[in-house]
Amino acid sequence: MSLTPVVLQTVHFGRIQVDEASTIQFPEGLPGFESRRRFALLQDPAYGPLIFLQSLELAGLCFPALPVGVVRPDYSLAVTPEDLEKLGLPRDRQPVIGRDVAALAILCLAQGEPPTANLLSPVLIHLETRRALQSIRLDRLYTCSERLAVEEALCS
């Protein structure tokens, strides 16, 4: 069975075409955007490791993100059993980044301020099912505004 591609006119990327099978589903939406549940991951080699989480339901809604390992190479997951269950992953072990899940840190790029990354609440994407959520860590090992070394993070 062939799926029809999703075509969307976006604010930041113009007209895009996304294979329906590659879309990311947020069953509960993202905090503050609970009604927006379908996203695409967009990458452009010109932007290095940057990933853009583009809503397929609202043309102007797009979050810049980086893989957590680009921000902090030693980053380790601490996913609650409830979030593991929501993702459809085993509750008895932490998932492995790159094998079980992709883990993205949403960036804050406020004008006049240094860029920061949210490592407290990474976006986790179950690689097999493409089900996703923003998982809040309970240990507070990281913050929601980790400063970036721009040259290192964006040019690696």
Sign of CA dihedral 35, 123, 102, 49: positive
Domains of the chain, start order = 6-155 (2.30.290.10)
The rounded distance, in Å, linking the Cα atoms of 149 and 140 is 21
- Report, in angstroms and rounded to the nearest whole number, the Rg of the chain calculated over CA atoms: 15
pLDDT tens column, 22-61: 799 999 999 889 999 999 999 888 888 999 999 999 989 9
Q: Look-up: residue for tokens 């380790």? A: 76
Residues 96 and 90: beta-carbon distance below 8 Å: no
**What residue type is 7 in one-letter code?**
V
Q: How many residues does the chain have?
A: 156
pLDDT tens column, 9-24: 888 888 888 887 779 9
**What residue type is 40 in one-letter code?**
A
pLDDT tens column, 121-142: 999 999 999 999 999 999 989 9
Spacing of C-alpha 133 from chain mean position: 8
Residue 151's H or E segment, with its range, is helix 150-155
